[in-house]
Homo-oligomer: A and B are copies of this chain.
Amino acid sequence: MGTRDQLIDSTRELLWERGYVGTSPKAIQQRAGAGQGSMYHHFAGKKELALAAVRRSADALLAAADEQFRGPGTAVDRITAYLRREREVLKGCPIGRLTQDPDIVADPVLRAPVDETLTRLRARLTEVLDEGRAAGELPGTTDTAALAATIVAVLQGGYVLARAANAPEPFDQAVSGVLALLAAR
């Protein structure tokens, strides 16, 4: 792996751990084992590097989700698999957490990949729910787009609860709760 890739991956890690405001170029360089000159040779600055890192994390997130959505079973089975998938709950979501970063949300260029990722995730989930509704798993009156937003919100909010408690249990409870509601339909 080249230095450029090392820099991007180190930035991905640090953005996940500390956010944009909490991540300095120096910290990125140290983790990547690269000098200042090297970093500024490959990237114009912190913002451009962060953009490359966020895009790569976004692609990884959508690919991982799609793996569950394309899996076997009914629509509800696949959503259950997605929600129950093994996760590093206490680390939170590498994309969702960026919504709490003032410099990301304030900058249209930096916010764009975050917005696009969560919008696409909801859209993909809506498709799966549409399949389930067509198959009679869900009532014909189900607002699948709203339900998709609910499911993604449970994930994102579950991370918040788990990080507050410094324990994964609240996340698991939140997931169990929404799955119970879904199963009762």
- Inter-chain CA distance A171–B150, complex, in Å, is 9
What is the CB-to-nearest-CB distance from A65 to chain B, in angstroms, rounded to a whole number? 15
What is the CB-to-nearest-CB distance from A148 to chain B, in angstroms, rounded to a whole number? 8
A residues 95-152 near B (Cβ < 8 Å) are 96-97, 99-103, 105, 111, 114-115, 117-119, 122, 139, 142-143, 145-152
A residues 36-88 near B (Cβ < 8 Å) are none
Smallest CB-CB separation from A98: which chain B residue?
A: B164
Choose from B122, B155, B164 the contact partner of A99 (Cβ within 8 Å): B164
Residues in chain B near residue A154, CB distance under 8 A: 150, 153-154, 157
Determine how many copies of this chain the complex contains.
2
Choose from B145, B153, B178, B185 the contact partner of A158 (Cβ within 8 Å): B153
Smallest CB-CB separation from A181: which chain B residue?
A: B181
Choose from B114, B147, B155 the contact partner of A180 (Cβ within 8 Å): B147
Q: Are B164 and A150 in contact (CB under 8 A)?
A: no
Q: Are B102 and A18 in contact (CB under 8 A)?
A: yes
Smallest CB-CB separation from A97: which chain B residue?
A: B100
Given contacts A18-B102, A149-B170, 16 further A-B pairs with CB under 8 A are A18-B21, A92-B100, A100-B100, A143-B176, A147-B180, A148-B177, A149-B176, A153-B155, A153-B156, A153-B157, A153-B174, A154-B154, A157-B158, A160-B160, A178-B178, A181-B181
